[in-house]
C-alpha cells in the first residue's frame, strides 16, 4: 500500500511539473514584471530544483504538513478538512441510499427473472444509467426546490447550523448521486443472484423445505455479494472524488469543487495534495473491500493477501 502511494506521489509530481501553468504568473497576472515574478517564485520555493521540491513535499506529507495554498494562503490541511466534512458525508449517504435501493430491487428482479416486474425494474435501471446525473440533479432542484420549495436549491448550511439543516442541504445531492449508482448496482446484484440461484446448494436448501424466498435471501444473497461489494467499492471511490459536477450544480463546498477551483487557479500544491489524498482513500477502500470479501466468504479467510 505504501509503495502504491509513493508511486502516486511521483506520478502526480511529474505530471504537474510537465503541464504548463505557472502559479506565480497566475497570481500576479499577465502584466507582471519578470523580477517580481522571480521574487515570488523564490518566496514560494519554486526556484529550487524539482528533486528538492519533490522531497520537501513528500517529507511534508509524511509529517502531516501539506503546505500552504497559493491562492487562499492558508494551510492546505485546513482547506481539505473543511471540505471533507461535506464530501465524506455526501459520499456515505449516497452509497447507503444506493445500496438500500439497489439490492432489494436486484434480488426481486432476479427472483422474477423475465417476468414483468423484472422487466420494469431493469427498464428503470437502464433509464437510471442513461440519464446524466447533472441533468437529473437540475430536475430535482426544479421540482423540490423551485416548485415545491421543500428543500434548498443549493449551498451548504454547514454542520454548525445543526445536524438537520446540514442534512437537508445534502439531501438532493445525495439522491442525484445515488440513483444512477443504484441503477448499476441493481443490475450487478440481479446478475449475481441469477448466477447463484442455479447452484446446487440452493437446491439442497429447497429440498430441506426452505421456501423460494428464504432460499433467495438467506442462501443466495450472501453468495452473490462478492461482485456487488466490488462494484460498491468502485462506486464509493468515485463518489469521493467524482462528485465535481454535482457539487457544482448544488454549490456545495466539497472536495470536488476544491479540486476544480485549485486546478483553474493553478493552486498546484492543493491539487497535488488532493490527488494523493484521494489515492490514499481509494487504497483504503480497496483494503476494506478485501476485508469484506473475507467476511462474506469464509473460503477467502486466512489466505494472507492484501
Partner 1 sequence: MSLLEIENLSVSLPTPKGMLELISNVSFSMEAGARLGIVGESGCGKSLTALAMMGLLPDKAAARGAIRLNGENLLELDEKMMRSIRGNRIAMIFQEPMSALNPVKTIGSQISEGLKIHLGLNKTDAENKTKKLLDSVGLPLNRFPLNLHPHQLSGGQRQRVLIAIAVACEPDILIADEPTTALDVTVQEIILELINEITENSGMGLIMISHDLGVIAQTTEKVLVMYAGNAVESGSTEDVFQHMAHPYTHGLFAAMPKSGTRNYEARQRLYSIPGQVPEAHARPKGCNFAGRCFKATAECAVEEPVLKPLNGKHKVSCFHPLTEGNPQ
Which cell is 130 given? 442513461
| Residue 115 lies near partner 1 (rule: CB under 8 A) | no
Nearer to partner 1, 90 or 221 (CB): 221
Query: Which residues, listed in sequence order, are joined to residue 68 by a DSSP beta bridge?
Result: 75
Binding segment toward partner 1, per CB under 8 A, in 171-179, 204-212, 227-235, 275-283: 204-212
Cα(153)–Cα(149) distance, integer angstroms: 8
Q: Judged by CB under 8 A, which of 30, 298, 303, 305 binds partner 1?
A: 298
Query: Which residues, listed in sequence order, are joined to residue 224 by a DSSP beta bridge?
Result: none
| Residue 149 lies near partner 1 (rule: CB under 8 A) | no
Compute the C-alpha angle 84/89/92, nearest 5°.
Answer: 120
Q: Judged by CB under 8 A, which of 147, 209, 303, 305 binds partner 1?
A: 209
Binding segment toward partner 1, per CB under 8 A, in 74-82, 181-189, 197-205, 254-262: 197-205
| Residue 53 lies near partner 1 (rule: CB under 8 A) | no
| Residue 201 lies near partner 1 (rule: CB under 8 A) | yes
* 65 CB-side CA count, 13 A: 9
Contact 233, 286 (CB under 8 A): yes
Query: Which residues, listed in sequence order, are joined to residue 75 by a DSSP beta bridge?
Result: 68
Q: How far is the CB of 290 from partner 1 (least distance, A)?
A: 17
| Residue 108 lies near partner 1 (rule: CB under 8 A) | no
Per-residue binding string, partner 1, 210-239, x by CB under 8 A, is xxx------x--xx----------------
Q: Judged by CB under 8 A, which of 41, 53, 112, 206 binds partner 1?
A: 206
Cα(139)–Cα(127) distance, integer angstroms: 15
Cα(136)–Cα(142) distance, integer angstroms: 10
| Residue 35 lies near partner 1 (rule: CB under 8 A) | no
| Residue 194 lies near partner 1 (rule: CB under 8 A) | no
| Residue 195 lies near partner 1 (rule: CB under 8 A) | no
| Residue 304 lies near partner 1 (rule: CB under 8 A) | no
Nearer to partner 1, 223 or 261 (CB): 223
* 28 CB-side CA count, 13 A: 15
Contact 100, 185 (CB under 8 A): no
Contact 231, 185 (CB under 8 A): yes
Judged by the rule CB under 8 A, the positions of this chain that interact with partner 1 are 199-201, 203-212, 219, 222-223, 296-299
Amino acid at each position: 500500500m505504501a509503495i502504491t502511494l509513493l508511486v502516486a506521489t511521483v506520478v502526480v509530481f511529474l505530471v504537474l511539473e510537465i503541464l504548463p501553468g505557472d502559479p506565480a504568473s497566475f497570481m500576479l497576472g499577465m502584466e507582471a514584471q519578470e523580477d517580481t515574478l522571480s521574487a515570488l517564485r523564490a518566496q514560494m520555493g519554486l526556484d529550487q530544483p524539482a528533486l528538492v521540491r519533490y522531497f520537501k513535499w513528500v517529507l511534508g506529507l509524511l509529517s502531516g504538513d501539506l503546505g500552504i495554498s497559493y491562492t487562499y494562503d492558508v494551510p492546505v490541511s485546513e482547506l481539505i478538512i473543511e471540505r471533507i466534512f461535506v464530501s465524506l458525508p455526501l459520499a456515505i449517504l449516497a452509497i447507503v441510499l444506493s445500496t438500500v435501493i439497489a439490492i432489494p430491487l436486484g434480488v426481486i428482479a432476479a427472483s422474477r427473472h423475465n417476468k414483468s416486474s423484472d422487466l420494469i425494474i431493469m427498464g428503470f435501471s437502464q433509464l437510471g444509467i442513461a440519464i446524466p446525473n447533472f441533468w437529473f440533479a437540475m430536475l430535482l432542484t426544479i421540482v423540490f426546490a423551485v416548485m415545491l420549495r421543500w428543500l434548498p436549491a443549493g449551498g451548504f448550511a454547514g454542520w454548525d447550523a445543526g445536524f438537520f439543516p446540514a442534512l437537508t442541504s445534502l439531501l438532493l445531492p445525495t439522491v442525484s448521486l445515488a440513483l444512477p449508482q443504484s441503477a448499476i448496482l441493481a443490475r450487478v446484484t440481479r446478475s449475481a443472484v441469477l448466477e447463484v440461484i442455479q447452484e446446487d446448494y440452493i437446491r439442497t436448501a429447497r429440498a430441506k423445505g426452505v421456501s423460494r424466498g428464504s432460499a433467495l435471501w438467506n442462501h443466495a444473497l450472501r453468495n452473490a455479494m462478492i461482485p456487488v461489494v466490488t462494484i460498491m467499492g468502485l462506486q464509493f471511490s468515485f463518489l469521493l472524488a467524482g462528485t465535481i459536477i454535482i457539487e457544482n450544480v448544488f454549490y456545495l463546498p466539497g472536495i470536488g469543487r476544491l479540486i476544480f477551483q485549485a486546478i483553474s487557479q493553478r493552486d498546484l500544491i492543493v491539487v497535488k495534495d488532493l490527488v494523493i489524498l484521494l489515492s490514499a482513500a481509494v487504497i483504503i477502500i480497496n483494503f476494506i473491500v478485501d476485508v469484506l470479501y473475507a467476511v462474506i466468504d469464509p473460503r477467502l479467510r486466512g489466505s494472507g493477501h492484501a
